Amino acid sequence: MIEYRWPRFTKEGFKKTKVPDELYLDMAVAYNQARFTDIQQDYYYEENYGHSVTGGSVAIYDNPRPFYLRANIQQHIFRRWSKVLQPIMEEWCGEELEFIQGYGIRSYMKDSMLCVHRDEISTHIISLIVHIDEHPDVKWPLDFIDHEGKHHEVTFEKRDMLMYESLCVHARSTPFMGEYYRNMYFHWCPVNWDPTPYENNTLRYKSIQEALNED
């Protein structure tokens, strides 16, 4: 049996597809009612990134005081949506999953970056990005390193969703050049998940290249 430094549930670690029609309509209603009045600016300097960040990994290029806006959607709505999404996620990864959390809608501002990281090893294992909106139509690629160490740049259209193994390295290392970019996020972990084998592994990196050069 081959032993890996990180878990592998799928061949590449990510797959882009579309939000189911009825669910997307429900999300669109929530978005139309959303108000981006929640300013997230609890920033701190993260030595492993070499940046000031907020929300765990959000930075703004050449700005020591990063922030983003959020329109809060109640957890009972995320749980309702997760009941539609979870069977899709389970079929993709081949695991029985436990829903952990949904959050957003996050609105990233001009010059925003997402530092190079892996997610929380205790809970954020199988995850989903739902792309909601951007203005203007400016692509902001998600950097993703697959199980074979190949670097991908994934771009999104409205209604796209990305299923991904969130212990794979990911980031948005290119500063966003538009006015705003808006996503929602969902996180699951396998039932009876044990994070112990991964507790001493690196989770944060200064660059994509540092992650690619990891032993």
Position 64 in a domain = no
One-letter amino acid of 51: H
pLDDT of amino acid 1: 32
> For the chain, what is the domain count?
1
Q: Is residue 3 pLDDT above 90, yes or no?
A: no
pLDDT in tens, 25-66: 999 999 999 999 999 999 999 999 999 999 889 999 999 999
Position 83 in a domain = yes
164, 71 Cβ separation under 8 angstroms: no
Which CATH number is 186's domain given?
2.60.120.620
Q: Is residue 4 pLDDT above 70, yes or no?
A: no
**Any idea which residue has 């538009």 for tokens?**
178
pLDDT in tens, 67-123: 999 998 999 999 999 999 999 999 999 999 999 999 989 999 999 999 999 999 999
Position 67 in a domain = no
Q: What percentage of the chain reaches a pLDDT higher than 90?
A: 93
3-state secondary structure 150-203: CEEEECCCCCEEEEEECCCCEEECCCCCCCEEEEEEEEEEECCCCCHHHCCCCC
Position 32 in a domain = yes
Position 113 in a domain = yes
Instruction: Tell me which residue range forms the domain holding 107.
Output: 14-36+72-212
Question: How many contiguous H segments (helices) and E segments (strands) does the chain have?
Answer: 3, 15
pLDDT in tens, 120-163: 999 999 999 999 999 999 999 999 999 999 999 999 999 999 99
In this prediction, residue 2 has a pLDDT band, given cuts at 50, 70 and 90, of very low
Position 4 in a domain = no
Position 115 in a domain = yes
Position 60 in a domain = no
pTM above 0.75, yes or no: yes
